[in-house]
Structure 1
Amino acid sequence: MSGLADQAQLKHDLSAVASGDIAGLRRLYEATARELYNICFRVVQNREAAEDVLQDVYIKVWNRAAGFDPAKGSAMAWLSMVARNSAIDWYRAQNRRTTVSDDALQFIADDGEAADDRLVREQEADRITALVDDLEDPTRSYIREAFLRGMTYSEIAEQSNVPLGTVKSRIRRGLMSMKRGLADG
């Protein structure tokens, strides 16, 4: 739509629509539907959706035509703004993500360790490490080699060049001392 005569006609038709004239709405639709549809389509990128949005545009025009102020711009500019804003509203509504309340999060499966269980486990590990550190050497070394490095008692005895019975008794006494420390702790 171009030309002063066409703009004057659009302004006249909008005024008629504001007065409740259905024939004015029909003339307005016939003169502007193609351009307003193109605006809607560029935003929503879907033919059926653009047609639905265009229908909403003319409903809004019917309800809001009295709000058109020719001093603020042309009739086509006002109609284009209504079409563009309607299309953007439709697009946002389609792409709006549903949010979930925090209450629903408890139902989401989590295979990870619970934070409080992890905290207890880490505290226990710290206590055990401190108890091992408090042992006298060579008992401390024997326990670390057996339980941290995975060595057998025989391998520890051979490496330390002490009898197997000595390694076993020192490890046993060290574990008993740690057990008492855990019970006291």
Structure 2
Amino acid sequence: MKPYLVPAETVSFTEEIKKSRFITYLAHTEGIEAAKDYIQSIKAQYPDARHHCWAFVAGRPDDSQQLGFSDDGEPTGTAGKPIIAQLLGSNLGEVTCVIVRYFGGIKLGTGGLVKAYGNGAQQALKILPTQTKVPQKVFNLVCDYSLINGIEQLLVQVNGVILHSDYNETVSLQIAIPATLEQEANDKLRDISRGTLTLTSEPQ
């Protein structure tokens, strides 16, 4: 799970082509539900528009299970596909693009539509600020009370956090650490516990 780029903020780009107005929005959306919610929010913002075409990459850039797109009434393949092509080409993750179209009375033809929607996404991507996201991995730990201080110090060193804790006869912890630091954290954990503890992944 390598770090990847995500949108740092929401941007918009507006263009008029043969009296049709195309308004493009790009936003950071983590997960499919967040992407769908964002699409609905844009539809609510422009209820009188003829089309609200969209595409999203809801997870990592290489996670093909979290892709989606729609032509929303435009001829098949003329809107959603050119938008998703731009998103995939950008190598961004957790991004949703919605392009609102107000029809101006002049038909653009299929080639014109592909160009208009693809260009809207491309121009918005050019002005989009990005930031790097480091994926987190979740682990379970069961340890003695005597090791808690050492584990807390370890988490500070690797930018980890405790998500959940149960204090009974032993301590059960659910922790999250950057996936890129798993090996380092595991080595330190073995040192702290003299080889009795290792990181156990949460089942996916």
State the TM-score bracket (shorter-chain normalisation).
under 0.3
The structure with more helix, counted as a fraction of residues: 1
TM value normalised by structure 2? 0.25
TM value normalised by structure 1? 0.27
The structure with more strand, counted as a fraction of residues: 2
Task: Find the structure with the greater CA-based Rg.
Answer: 1
